[in-house]
């Protein structure tokens, strides 16, 4: 059984339904990508799994989130608090905001292992410095005493990753952890995150708008569009034979230097806002393959024998031999 299994998940925020029946699973030692343009529902998916929807006035309307045998959608908040940070760590979309500007970075990492693992000050410091070294922070023992403003963006990001790892979580959810950094640093940080989670057998959900990052880091990928799963498959297989026109467009649009994050130059238009989701397939107004059924009927998510899942009336569903 997967470490985390999300099934048929729909959420409601003040009467709007930004996620509609999404599902995915991730196992120990596995890296799952969640990819989609801005507004596709990636951050809300992370927030929902972390049990933080009530903070924005939302609730789970339907479906299940099982983590290591525990149903999270009905878990009382005090129990959830024991999981958060300890067993499931969250790296938010703007990680710089998770650092306290007036506290030395080392002490911020220490806090996590003192709180969740009950380490004393000395043990926590040793653990933090070892983690910082593992994250290839130069002069870790010195940087340990620095304040966030003394560090570069890439260094701060490594501190945030060290904080996520400090309690030895089973699952890390990283929401676009590198968008604030320049492209070369981004690739280095993603590479480090991948190495660390592989070393430790941690499960990672890596949220990104960039299929290039998926190709670099992930084992499987879920493509989200306007709050629904468009397609999901192993990364090698999806690059070899993308079946949904949206996945194909994302692959064509792997960003190069100078492209705005989240933009998809290859397809005109953008993800509709929740209030304006079109009937039928939500992608159909932007789709060059759309036909009569697309505006009328929601395409069901088909499960193909290869393990691919695709929701498109005109998907390429022939299973290619050895694909």
Cα–Cα dist 260/241, whole Å: 27
Number of residues that bind ligand ATP (CB under 6 A): 17
- Pairing label, strands 220-225, 31-35: parallel
Q: Which two tokens stand for residue 107?
A: 């002490």
What minimum distance in Å lies between the beta carbon of 268 and ligand ATP? 18
Binding mask 83-102 for ligand ATP (x = CB under 6 A): ----------x---------
Q: Which two tokens stand for residue 65?
A: 């989130």
Instruction: Work out what residue 156 binds among Mg ion, ligand ATP, none; the CB cut-off runs from 5 to 8 Å by kind.
Output: none
Helix boundaries (H) for the chain: 42-49, 77-83, 105-117, 121-134, 140-143, 153-165, 183-200, 211-217, 235-240, 245-252, 292-296
**Which of the residues 262 through 321 are near ligand ATP (CB under 6 A)?**
262, 273-274
Q: Which is nearer to Mg ion, 46 or 65 (CB)?
A: 46
Is 43 among the residues that bind ligand ATP (CB under 6 A)? yes
Residue 120 contacts residue 185 (beta carbons within 8 Å): no
Is 220 among the residues that bind ligand ATP (CB under 6 A)? no
Helix boundaries (H) for 168-311: 183-200, 211-217, 235-240, 245-252, 292-296
Judged by CB under 5 A, the residue of 10, 23, 29, 43 near Mg ion is 43
Cα–Cα dist 254/215, whole Å: 10
Cα–Cα dist 26/56, whole Å: 26
Is 36 among the residues that bind ligand ATP (CB under 6 A)? yes
Instruction: Work out what residue 273 binds among Mg ion, ligand ATP, none; the CB cut-off runs from 5 to 8 Å by kind.
Output: ligand ATP
**Which of the residues 127 through 166 are near Mg ion (CB under 5 A)?**
none
What minimum distance in Å lies between the beta carbon of 93 and Mg ion? 5
Q: Which is nearer to ligand ATP, 11 or 160 (CB)?
A: 11
What minimum distance in Å lies between the beta carbon of 221 and Mg ion? 16
Judged by CB under 6 A, the residue of 44, 211, 281, 312 near ligand ATP is 44
Instruction: Give the rounded distance of the alpha carbon of 163 from its chain centre.
Output: 17
- Judged by CB under 5 A, the stretch of 21-29, 40-48, 74-82, 237-245 that binds Mg ion is 40-48
Judged by CB under 6 A, the residue of 10, 38, 64, 111 near ligand ATP is 38
Cα–Cα distances in Å, from 262 out to 107, 256, 258, 270, 285? 34, 12, 12, 10, 19
User: For residue 266, which of 289, 249, 290, 287 has the smallest C-alpha distance?
Assistant: 249
**Which of the residues 250 through 269 are near ligand ATP (CB under 6 A)?**
262
Instruction: Work out what residue 208 binds among Mg ion, ligand ATP, none; the CB cut-off runs from 5 to 8 Å by kind.
Output: none
Judged by CB under 6 A, the residue of 22, 42, 140, 206 near ligand ATP is 42
Residue 41 contacts residue 58 (beta carbons within 8 Å): no
Judged by CB under 6 A, the residue of 39, 85, 177, 242 near ligand ATP is 39
User: For residue 202, which of 133, 136, 107, 131 has the smallest C-alpha distance?
Assistant: 131
Binding site for ligand ATP (CB under 6 A): 13, 16, 18, 36, 38-44, 56, 93, 209, 262, 273-274
Binding site for Mg ion (CB under 5 A): 42-43
């Amino acid at each position: 059984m997967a470490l985390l299994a999300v099934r048929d998940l729909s959420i409601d925020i003040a009467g709007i339904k930004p996620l509609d029946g999404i599902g995915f699973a991730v196992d120990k030692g596995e890296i799952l990508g969640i990819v989609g343009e801005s507004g596709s529902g990636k951050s809300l998916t992370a927030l929902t799994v972390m049990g933080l929807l009530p903070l924005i006035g939302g609730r789970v309307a339907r479906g299940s989130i099982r983590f290591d045998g525990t149903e999270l959608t009905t878990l009382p908040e005090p129990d959830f608090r024991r999981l958060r940070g300890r067993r499931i760590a969250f790296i938010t979309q703007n990680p710089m905001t998770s650092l306290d500007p007036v506290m030395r970075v080392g002490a911020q990492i220490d806090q996590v292992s003192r709180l969740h693992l009950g380490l004393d000050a000395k043990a926590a410091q040793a653990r933090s410095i070892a983690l910082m070294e593992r994250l290839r922070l130069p002069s870790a023992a010195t940087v340990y005493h620095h304040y966030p403003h003394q560090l570069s963006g890439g260094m701060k990001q490594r501190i945030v990753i060290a904080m996520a790892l400090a309690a030895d979580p089973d699952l890390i959810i990283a929401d676009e952890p590198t968008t604030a950094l320049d492209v070369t640093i981004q690739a280095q940080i993603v590479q480090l995150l991948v190495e660390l989670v592989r070393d430790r057998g941690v499960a990672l959900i890596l949220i990104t708008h960039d299929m290039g990052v998926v190709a670099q880091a992930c084992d499987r990928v879920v493509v989200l569009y306007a709050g629904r799963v468009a397609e999901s498959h192993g990364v090698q297989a999806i690059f070899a034979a993308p079946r949904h026109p949206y996945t194909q467009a994302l692959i064509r649009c792997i960003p190069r230097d100078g492209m705005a994050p989240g933009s998809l130059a290859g397809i005109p238009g953008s993800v509709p806002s929740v209030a304006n989701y079109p009937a039928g397939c939500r992608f159909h107004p932007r789709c060059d393959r759309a036909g009569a059924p697309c505006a009328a009927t929601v395409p069901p998510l088909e499960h193909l024998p290869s393990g691919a899942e695709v929701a498109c009336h005109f998907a390429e569903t022939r299973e290619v031999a050895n694909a």
